[in-house]
Copies of this chain bind each other. A is one copy, B any other.
Amino acid sequence: MKILEDRIRKDGRVRAGNVLKVDSFINHQMDIGLFEEMAKEWKRRFDGKPINKILTIEASGIGIAAIAAKEFGVPVVFAKKSMSVNLDGNNYVTHIQSFTHNRTYEVIVSKKYLGPDDHVLIIDDFLANGCALMGLLELIEAAGASVEGIGIAIEKGWQSGGKMIREKGIQLESLAIVKTMDAETGEITFG
């Protein structure tokens, strides 16, 4: 998606250790106008799928998922990291390793909000090794729900997550697939 690629080239910052910082428009400050364009693009790419729920994971997926949900006319459920006293014990649970934060999270979705009648579109900001997505897919499978597709803002194309998801036969629509990025020159290419 050209406007997202252009924006990443303009405002993204490449840092040592495979870090692409997009916190000026995606995951700290959020450019809602850009999110609306992304939502319309996903709506086009998933046209005809019987999506009735969007699933994401806190925290940085929530804003994109909310705007996408407005476009699709469906509710969002966001999977929560760690147990809250505001939740019953009646949850689907999985564990997701975060390399960004160098720890493992317990991630839950209440059984009330994900079930066999749900046709789910997963939305998230980043796809790298796919750990978060695999966790969300586990929650969907545990709930007996159907995965209609996955919409990602930025995929790191050289990491294994995208290949792993596509080999499962799931429709994965990453709006920008980074092919290479160079922390020294700041250059980013897309593929």
Main SS of the interface on chain A?
Answer: mixed
> How far is B24's CA from A75's CA once the two chains are assembled, in angstroms?
10
| A24 CB contacts on chain B under 8 angstroms | 112-113
Cα distance A36–B109 in the bound complex, in angstroms: 24
Categorize the interface residue count of chain A: 35 or more
Whether the Cβ atoms of A31 and B75 lie closer than 8 Å is yes
Shortest beta-carbon distance, A19 to chain B, in Å? 6
Taking a contact as CB atoms under 8 Å apart, the answer to whether A78 and B66 are in contact is: no
Closest B-chain residue to A22, C-beta based? Answer: B86
Q: A28-B78, A29-B75, A85-B102 are in contact. Are A110 and B23 (CB under 8 A)?
A: yes
Contact with B along A15-42 (1 / 0, CB 8 A): 0000101011101111111011000000
Give me 10 other A-B pairs in contact (C-beta within 8 A), A29-B77, A36-B70, A59-B59 excluded.
A23-B86, A25-B75, A27-B86, A29-B75, A30-B66, A32-B70, A33-B73, A63-B76, A70-B70, A86-B100
22 pairs of residues in contact across A and B, judged by CB atoms under 8 Å: A23-B86, A27-B86, A28-B78, A28-B109, A28-B110, A28-B113, A29-B77, A29-B110, A30-B66, A30-B75, A30-B77, A30-B78, A32-B75, A33-B73, A59-B59, A59-B78, A62-B62, A62-B66, A63-B66, A63-B78, A70-B70, A85-B100
